[in-house]
Structure 1
Amino acid sequence: MSTGTDVPLSSSDEDQGSKLIRKAKEVPFVPIGTAGFAAIVAYGSYKLKSRGNTKMSLHLPNPHAAQGFVVGTMTLGVGYSMYQEFWAKPKP
């Protein structure tokens, strides 16, 4: 029996790629946070590689920026979902 939506009835019907795409559409802040975290860590690793003749301890990758980006993205996601749930809902 078809429900009229394109969401499968059971999760065993879809493969990992389509499940990931569906979840990313439902909660877009998760892939944004993950991509930002990866970009900041990659940039820190690149800067560590091209540090020159200075001491290693001065150029260790600082994970606080990446953690801050992820926490900020999570905060925006929670705020957005609260907005959708309480303020943007049409009144009956």
Structure 2
Amino acid sequence: MATPGPVTPEAPFKPSQPPVIEGFNPSVHIHQEGFKEKFLRKTRENPMVPIGCLGTAAALTYGLYCFHQGHSQRSQFMMRTRIAAQGFTVAAILLGLAASAMKSRS
């Protein structure tokens, strides 16, 4: 069984300061991004996701309205449309993630 080598004294931990991690330099943001700014930036990066979300919400809302009115055929059609819109949204998210991964590699 090997004995550990001598322990070098390090600077004491200071809770008021962030930890020092070798090879990591935290970036200091001068301007904190608000919800609206982040939403607009993300929408510009991948505009298909909000379009898919709006389509999903519209199909769901109209389908529930048709169900309430007693139009069962139209309600079923809108629920199937909602599933398609959800699939479109998930595909848009995955394609956006793939595009950002390829962008960060180059």
TM-score by length of 1: 0.55
The 1:80/1:16 distance shift into structure 2, 3 A limit, reads closer
For 2:97 and 2:34, locate their aligned partners in 1 and report how far apart those are by CA, in whole Å.
27
Q: Check whether the contact 1:40–1:66 (CA below 8 A) recurs between aligned residues.
A: yes
**Structure 2: runs of 5+ lacking an equivalent:** 1-27
Matching of residue 34 in structure 1 with residue 50 in structure 2: no
CA RMSD of aligned residues (A): 3.5
Instruction: Give the distance between the partners of 2:50 and 2:61, measured in 1 at CA.
Output: 16
Report what 2:83 is aligned to: 67
Shift of 1:49: 1.4
Q: Counting helix residues as a fraction of each chain, which structure ranks higher?
A: 1
Per mean C-alpha deviation after superposition, the further-off stretch among 65-74 and 30-39 is 65-74
Identity within the alignment, %: 24
Structure of higher CA gyration radius = 2
Shift of 1:80: 8.3
| Paired residues for 1:11-30 under 5 Å | 13-30=32-49
* Residue-pair matches, total: 73
For 1:13, what is the secondary structure of its paired residue?
coil
> Offset at 1:10?
3.7
Moved more, 66-75 or 28-37: 66-75
Residue 28 of structure 1 and its aligned partner are, at CA, apart by 0.5
Partners in 1 of 2:29 and 2:60 — Cα distance?
36
